[in-house]
């Protein structure tokens, strides 16, 4: 297998459009997992070109300071704009990567956004720590680049690094040639399209009985129509149990008679929320 710097890899990059990912962080060690598994293989194949940068390389004082106290008071520290400015200027160079800044106050990172980002040639991820990055950094680069402040969920991490790992994995598996089975990525629960708003049901493999637990007989029947119907029943049940807000948003027009039976058994009502009380 050839290496990302090889001539063969450079040729493939130019021909098939390698995605370049730059990541700026004070903890580059966080990104060791990008050397393994799906993303590691994509890098070996020349599909992904990942470059991790130490933010402190652009801090000039003896202590390599990247943070300072917040204007207006309050707890914690804020990342200084000058260090970020030098880092992004050098990493972006004269180019125009799409800049992604994880933050708990960003717009949601969704499967739809992962698909949109998977079509970009170059992404630059800026990982904050402490209470975040001085807002003028996003203002400055928002005038030159497309800047997205994104949240991976409603909980507070200690910094942007883990959010970037999540986003890189979600985006990376959508790139052509990354997944062994090219069709699996388009069939995801949250992919925009037919099965949107329905979670996946349970899955099983051999043996048919394990510690006394049987695989549902319908899956061994070879009856494709019955299997599809059973899977949809299970998907509906699981969606009602785990994500009632998704189930409530199902379009009644997309529900057949059997769907309505399953939902009736669960005493679940589809449609706009009742605002009458």
Catalytic residues: 104, 131, 173, 188
What Å distances lie between residue 50 and 47, 146, 149, CA to CA? 10, 19, 20
The yes or no reply on residue 71 touching ligand JFH (CB under 6 A) is: no
Smaller CB separation from ligand JFH, 190 or 268: 190
The yes or no reply on residue 164 touching ligand JFH (CB under 6 A) is: no
The yes or no reply on residue 158 touching ligand JFH (CB under 6 A) is: yes
In angstroms, what is the minimal distance from the CB of 142 to ligand JFH? 17
Cβ-proximal residue to ligand JFH, closest one: 128
The yes or no reply on residue 131 touching ligand JFH (CB under 6 A) is: yes
Stretch that binds ligand JFH, among 8-16, 111-119, 151-159, 221-229 (CB under 6 A): 151-159
Options 46, 97, 132, 172; binder of ligand JFH; rule CB under 6 A = 132
* Interaction pattern, residues 88-127, with ligand JFH; x per rule: CB under 6 A: --------------xxx-----------------------
In angstroms, what is the minimal distance from the CB of 43 to ligand JFH? 24
Size of site (CB under 6 A) for ligand JFH: 18
**CB-facing half-sphere around the CA of 12: CA atoms within 13 A:** 19
Q: What does DSSP assign to residue 153? A: S
Q: Which helix (H) or strand (E) holds 54?
A: strand 48-54
3-state SS, 177-246, equals CCCCCCCHHHHCCCCCCCCCCCCCCCCCCCCCEECCEECCHHHHCCCHHHHHHHHHHHHHHHHHHHCHHH
Euclidean distance between CA atoms 83 and 78, whole angstroms: 12
Which parts of this chain interact with ligand JFH (CB under 6 A)? 102-104, 128-132, 151-153, 155-160, 163
């Amino acid at each position: 297998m050839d290496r990302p710097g090889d001539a063969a890899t450079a040729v493939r990059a130019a021909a098939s459009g390698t995605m370049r990912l730059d990541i700026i962080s004070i903890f580059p060690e966080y990104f060791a997992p990008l050397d393994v598994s799906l993303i590691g293989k994509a890098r070996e194949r020349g599909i992904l070109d990942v470059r991790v940068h130490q933010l402190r390389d652009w801090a000039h004082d003896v202590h390599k300071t990247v943070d300072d106290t917040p204007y207006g008071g309050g707890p914690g520290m804020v990342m200084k704009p000058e260090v970020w400015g030098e880092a992004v200027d050098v990493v972006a160079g004269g180019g125009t990567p799409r800049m992604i800044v994880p933050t708990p106050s960003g717009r949601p990172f969704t499967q739809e956004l992962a698909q949109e980002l998977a079509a970009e040639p170059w992404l630059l991820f800026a990982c904050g720590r402490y209470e975040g990055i001085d807002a003028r950094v996003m203002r400055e680069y928002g005038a030159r680049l497309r800047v997205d402040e994104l949240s991976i969920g409603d909980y507070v991490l200690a910094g942007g690094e883990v959010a970037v790992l999540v986003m890189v994995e979600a985006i990376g598996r959508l790139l052509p040639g990354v997944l062994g089975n090219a069709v699996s990525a388009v069939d995801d629960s949250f992919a925009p399209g037919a099965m949107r708003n329905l979670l996946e049901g349970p899955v099983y493999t051999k043996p048919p009985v394990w510690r006394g637990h049987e695989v549902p007989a319908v899956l061994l029947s070879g009856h494709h129509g019955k299997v599809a119907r059973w899977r949809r029943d299970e998907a509906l049940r699981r969606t009602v149990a785990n994500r009632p807000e998704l189930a409530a948003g199902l379009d009644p027009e997309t529900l057949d008679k059997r769907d309505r039976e399953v939902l009736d058994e669960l005493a679940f009502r589809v449609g706009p929320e009742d605002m009458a009380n």
